[in-house]
Amino acid sequence: RIRSQILSGIIAGENDPDTVAQNKWARALYGDHPYSRSDQGTKESIAAITSDDLKALHKAVFARGGLHVAVVGAIDAETLKKKLDMVFGDLPQNQALRPVADIDPKLAQHIEVDYDLPQTSLQLAFPGVKRKAADFFPAVLMNEILGGGTFTSRLFQEVREKRGLAYSVNSSLINQDHASALIVSTGTRSDRAAETLGIVRDVVKQLAEQGPTEAELAATKKYMIGAYAINNLDSSSAIASTLVELQLDDLGIDYMQRRAGYINAVTLEQVKAAAKKLLTTEPTIMVIGPKLAGAGKG
C-alpha cells in the first residue's frame, strides 16, 4: 500500500514543473552526492525495497545515540526520566549510519526548465556559511538585509514595493549537516522575468560591493533580537521545536541567553565582509518557465 502511494507520487511528479525543476536543481548543485537525490526515491529504487531493508534501516537509525528530546508541559524531571526510559530504553545505544561527505554546491551554472507557464520561477544559489563558522552571525544579518526580512529587505523593496514585479521575493541561508548555501527565490510574470532577474542581480551586486548602511544594520539587529521569542517561543510546540534545534546544532542550553550578545557584537565591517564573501561569486541560476534569453548573464 505505501509503495503504491509513493510510486503514484513519483509518477505525478514527473509531470509537475516544480518537482522536475527541483530534482534538476539538486542534481546540478550536488552531482552524485546524497543531497542530489529525491527523498521519494525513484520508481526503480522504490520497487526494489523489501521488508528486510526496512527492518535493517530501523535497526540502524533508531538508537539512543541519535535521539534528541524536548519536552514542554506540566511534567517534572524525575517523572520524565521514567517515561523516557519506558519508551526509549530498549533501543540500542549507537546508530549504524553510513558516513556522508561534506560538499560545496556547484555554482556558476544556468539551468532552464522550459515550460509554457504564465509565471516564471527564479532561483539563485550563492555560497553559504557553516553554522559554527566565525562569520555566521554577520552572514545572518547580511541575509536579513538582502532578502530575509519579509517587508524590509532590499529585495522586497526593489522587486515588489517599487516595481510590483513579484508577490514574494526572499533569500535564505540554508544549513544542512554537510552543505551550506544562500538561496534567493521569487516568481513573476513570464514576460517580466528577465527584468526581475536583472533587478535581483543588481540588488545583490550593490550589497556585495557597498554593504549595508549603519541604519539598516541597527534596525536588523533590533528586529532579530526582538522577534526571536515571537517566532520561536509562542506556543508549546514552537518551544519544543526550538529546543530540539538547539540540540541538533549543539548550541548549548543557555544559547537563548547568549544569542542577543552574538548579534549585538557584529560590526558593520563584518557584515560588509560577509556580503563580499558570499555574494561576489557567480551563482547558479534556475529559470522555470518559458525560455529566458540572457538569464545567465549579469
Please tell me the pTM assigned to this model.
0.92
Calculated CA dihedral for residues 80, 83, 87, 89, nearest 10 degrees: 80
Average pLDDT of the residues in 247-263:
96
Asked if residue 207 lies in contact with residue 154, where contact means CB atoms within 8 angstroms, the answer is yes
Handedness of CA 198, 184, 170, 130 (dihedral sign): negative
Cell of 152: 524590509
- Sign of the Cα pseudo-torsion (136, 146, 122, 112, in order): negative
Per CATH, domain 110-289 is 3.90.1170.50? no
Lowest mean pLDDT among 14-18, 28-32, 222-226, 260-264: 14-18
Q: Is the pLDDT of residue 297 over 50?
A: no
**CATH number of this structure's domain 2-88:** 3.30.830.10
Strands (E), the chain: 110-114, 119-127, 169-175, 180-189, 284-289
Q: How confident is the model at residue 117 (pLDDT cuts 50, 70, 90)?
A: confident
Query: Which of 11, 38, 40 lies closest to 26 in space, CA to CA?
Result: 38
CA-angle at 34, arms to 29 and 38, nearest 5°: 80
Helices (H) and strands (E) in the chain, counts: 12, 5
Indicate whether 55 pLDDT > 70: yes
pLDDT of the residue at 293: 57
- Retrieve residue 273's grid coordinates: 565582509
Q: Which residue has the cell 562569520?
A: 135
- Identity of the amino acid at 220: T
Q: What is the pLDDT of residues 122-142, one digit of tens each?
A: 999 999 999 999 999 999 999
Residues of the chain with CATH 3.30.830.10: 2-88, 110-289
The owner of cell 548579534 is 263
pLDDT of residue 149: 78
- The percent of residues above 70 in pLDDT, for the chain, comes to 98
Chain mean pLDDT for the chain: 95
Q: Count the alpha carbons within 13 Å of 13 in the hemisphere toward its beta carbon.
A: 19
**pLDDT of res. 72:** 96
Residue type, 290: P
Q: What is the 3-state secondary structure (H, E, C) of 235-257?
A: CHHHHHHHHHHHHHCCCCCCHHH
- The rounded distance, in Å, linking the Cα atoms of 125 and 140 is 16
Q: Is pLDDT at 295 greater than 60 in this prediction?
A: no
